[in-house]
Chain A
Amino acid sequence: MSSWRKKIEGYIEPRFQVSAIRDFARKKKVPEHRHSFWYFFGGICLFLFLLQVVTGILLLLYYTPSVDAAHESVQFIMSQVKFGWLVRSVHSWTANILVGFLFIHMFSAFFLKAYRPPRELTWITGFLLLVLFLAFGFSGYLLPWNELSFFATRVGTDIAGVIPWVGKALKTFILGGPEVSGATLTRFFWLHVAVLPAFALLIMGVHILLVQTLGMSKPIGTGETKEISFFPEFILRDSLAWLLILAAIGAICVFLPWEAGPKADPFASTPLGIKPEWYFTFMFTTLKLVPAHIFSIEGEVLAVMGFLLGGLFLMFVPLLDRRAAREKRSPVFTAIGLAVLVYIVLMTALTYLAPNIGK
């Protein structure tokens, strides 16, 4: 080892104790079995998040969060700023891809029952991250202030307004008034670049720390398995996936750059076929299909309550699935998860294949 390298290590080691991290990384193992493919999705989500952070910070250089300038600034980024089209397209496309991978990550962890003790908190923080990223998507969608996002936000916040007792107050809080306006744009910007990142970093920190300290969960009934080193073997495999995804995102952005769309006109009538972002469409179509009244309760209220209860069920599934906690198979929970997945896929597909269904 050269003397200057020794000097640097001599300076860093007492201050940061890097050797502890190095030793931890050296010792850390990842189980290898026929389901270990699903382990990669967490890392992919992290990579996509980092991509969002980098492109988001770059977009902040030119984006202006006001009704008069938001759309114009996005237009400017797309047409005038060097590589602005790429940065914005990567940001918009990755946002959607990230939400897709988050769903895959969540459902794979659900079906592998990775929420079993002692990983309850890993699951709960993961679920909270999914909610946070949905909020990221919802708030970010409005920021270009274009026609589609404006009316989709109106539709989306109408869903929130249906929640019993707190719905109206919640809707007013989200919108900063009774309607989607300049106040909503400022509020969504505040959420998107300050509040949500702070919470996301905090929860993600806990989530990753737990994954690192508790290690990867093995599916029920998997006995002793082969193991690979986290560093470098697992990291290398994960990074291979990152590279392939990066290449795919690049190609998508070049051939299908994310459009700025026409500027929102609050006085225009709602365009036909308006719908929220794809990851909210299963709720949107449910609300369209639900009957006006079910047992004298408003159908919409019941549906929204159903989603909230479904969310709570998913969040607290580690506490409910007692069989899995005892390392026993729990087919009931697998069936419930499967039903939820099929429902989401079916409703999302219906939104696009039968747009005129329901009301």
Chain B
Amino acid sequence: MTTPVIEVACLTKWYGRRRGVEDVSFDVAPGEAFGFLGPNGAGKTTTIRLLLGFLRPTGGSARVFGLDAFDDAPAIHASASYLGSDPGFLGELSGAEQLEYLGRLRGLPRRAWVPLAERLELDPTVRIKRLSRGNRQKVGVVAAFMGHEPLLVLDEPTSGLDPLMQREFLALAAEARADGRTLFLSSHNLVEVERACDRVAIIREGRIAEVSAVGALMGSHWRSINLVLGAPPARDAFDLPDVEVIAMTGREVHLMVRGDVNALLARIAALRVEDIAITTPDVEDLFLRLYRGDEPVPATGGNEEVPA
């Protein structure tokens, strides 16, 4: 059995009387991309700050590369790269100076950031305080990926990035995985996690609600499809397993589907479609379903290891 890169067992953090996280447990295997999904205030950042040794746990343990996350933080940081959700870069420095500073502290060669900055079309000469939120986040993405540390800890890395840069981020994440690096990605964006990760833990109100393979999680949840057809369809046009007709008003149809969508798409293809909108559930929607009790627990769940 491979030793996990991250081992979290019953991890608990209280800020005085305020709950941070409680009884959080999961493992991340070497080379795995692990998503950490939850709404704002769920405990994602607290968990990451515990993993990086910024916070001392109230209970339980967090180990990274077999080392205690709090006691052995500098040794862990030699093998980990981190990007916060809103990095507090120094406004008076330029992007280049900020990246050079972080690169030097991490023992990287001079100008290690240049190829990535060029790839992300970042102007490194501009002072951080003059950069937009998205461009500041670009500096963060460059900082996170400019080294070759075997673990990347990314806290909502695409917040503020435009869709093109989000795609570039996903490409960087895929390349990092291809290099055998391990990704720990916190997000409240299901699509991002679905595209970048193998497994996902869902955290809600400080507790892990579910740990499962991404495919199983996505497959087990409903998607919403809104259609505008050329003509009103037959009443039984969408009579399929796992398809629910929510509303059918003349040419407009609202469906919910879960699992394999191919059969439904084949039915739709036989019709004249004027417009179609498919919506993946957002994280709040997913939680509502999980806690309403009308959603089966995915078949592939638990904390089992995923091969690297």
A and B part of one assembly: no
Interface residues of A (CB under 8 A from B): none
Interface residues of B (CB under 8 A from A): none
